[in-house]
């Protein structure tokens, strides 16, 4: 086996988080192939509309005569769902072709545990078919190791991210926030990145099921687990794919919202709260949730934001439950009397 190829495989399987794994795959293929751009894209669906959106890209920059460099771009870009992309995703088969812009393109679906959540797109000035076995072999190594990391980073019951992944995901959100306050070069006129506006911030929300102990006491832990599973499904369907959801333990969940206005954050969380309250849980019937949320400022530590959101949650719990409150609003009105721990969220 080629030494460079072997080194690339060793590097991929040496990663310990999904973001680093994604970067190592693209970097390895960019080193092994004559690529102009290589992008890993995720599949998603909002309001029954299917879309493909870039996760990260490795892009060739021509700096001038004889000067070539590569740069990373992780600002999400939508990928057109044309016939070839749709066929590749529907069949799970790779597509290699010469497109009308004068470049060779490879579309490689990434199958993880029988699903196809990702699509690799490679753009090159050279024909890629001679490297098809190597490309798809590297993707298989990535997919197998991605499955292993998914197993260690997700809560076994709900499938949401677990507590141990929180700090890394939090920092990633802060980094992306900083980048989006800058102007980024689009790869093409049709791929304009979304720039974060000055009144948009990321938010952290703590979601706590009201009177969950009585559910377990009355119906047993099997039914209690079913409530947690169904609630996690409501969380997945109520927030954007780019928002991150965690089960922190017991009946408490944490949601990281990508940058939006305070008004929008309140509306999104209130809509989710209403969706839970209107849902008929088998055997249990109706339940409600209490939600406290807080803005994430640049430079904040995770424990600081968790503490602010937790104070907001405590206020909701002490004032009737089944509500949504934001930390700064409560503080401005003098309604926060002190910090108390409401549940299982570990602040320190």
The model's pTM is 0.74
pLDDT tens, 120-129? 999 999 999 9
Structural domains for the chain: 3-153 (3.30.450.40), 162-332 (3.30.70.270)
From the list 226, 251, 252, 258, the catalytic residue is 251
Contacts of 105 (CB under 8 A, 6+ apart): 95, 96, 97, 98, 99, 121, 122, 123, 124, 128
Known catalytic membership, residue 251: yes
Between 54 and 197, the more confident residue is 54
The rounded distance, in Å, linking the Cα atoms of 19 and 77 is 17
Q: For residue 79, what are its two tokens?
A: 């990928």
Is the sign of the CA dihedral 239, 241, 243, 247 positive or negative?
Answer: positive
At 40 the pLDDT is 94
**The pLDDT of residue 195 is above 90:** no
Q: Using one digit for the tens of pLDDT, what is the confidence trace for 198-240?
A: 689 999 999 999 999 999 999 999 999 999 999 999 999 999 8
Q: How far apart are CA 118 and CA 54, in angstroms?
A: 9
């Amino acid at each position: 086996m080629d030494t460079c190829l072997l080194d690339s495989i060793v590097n991929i399987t040496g990663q310990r988080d999904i973001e680093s794994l994604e970067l190592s795959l693209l970097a390895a293929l960019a080193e092994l192939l004559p690529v102009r751009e290589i992008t890993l894209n995720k599949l998603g669906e909002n309001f029954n509309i299917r879309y493909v959106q870039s996760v990260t890209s490795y892009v060739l920059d021509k700096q001038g005569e004889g000067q070539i460099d590569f740069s990373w771009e992780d600002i999400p870009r939508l990928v057109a769902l044309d016939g070839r992309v749709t066929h590749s995703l529907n069949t799970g088969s790779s597509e290699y072709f010469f497109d009308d812009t004068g470049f060779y393109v490879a579309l490689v679906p990434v199958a993880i545990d029988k699903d196809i959540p990702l699509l690799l797109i490679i753009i090159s000035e050279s024909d890629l078919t001679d490297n098809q076995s190597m490309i798809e072999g590297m993707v298989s190594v990535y997919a197998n190791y991605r499955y292993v990391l998914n197993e260690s980073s997700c809560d076994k019951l709900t499938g949401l991210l677990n507590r141990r992944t929180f700090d890394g995901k939090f920092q990633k959100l802060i980094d992306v926030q900083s980048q989006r306050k800058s102007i980024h070069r689009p790869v093409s006129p049709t791929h304009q990145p979304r720039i974060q506006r000055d009144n948009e911030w990321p938010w952290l929300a703590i979601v706590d099921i009201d009177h969950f102990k009585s559910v377990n006491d009355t119906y047993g832990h099997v039914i209690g687990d079913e409530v947690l599973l169904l609630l996690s499904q409501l969380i997945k369907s109520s927030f954007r794919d780019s928002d991150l959801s965690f089960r922190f333990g017991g009946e408490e969940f944490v949601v990281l919202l990508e940058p939006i206005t305070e008004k929008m954050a309140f509306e999104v969380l209130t809509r989710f709260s209403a969706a839970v309250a209107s849902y008929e849980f088998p055997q249990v019937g109706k339940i409600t949730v209490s939600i406290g949320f807080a803005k994430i400022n640049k430079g904040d530590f995770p424990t600081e934001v968790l503490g602010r959101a937790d104070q907001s949650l405590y206020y909701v719990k002490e004032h009737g439950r089944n509500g949504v409150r934001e930390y700064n609003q409560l503080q401005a009105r003098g309604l926060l009397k002190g910090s108390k721990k409401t549940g299982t969220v570990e602040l320190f």
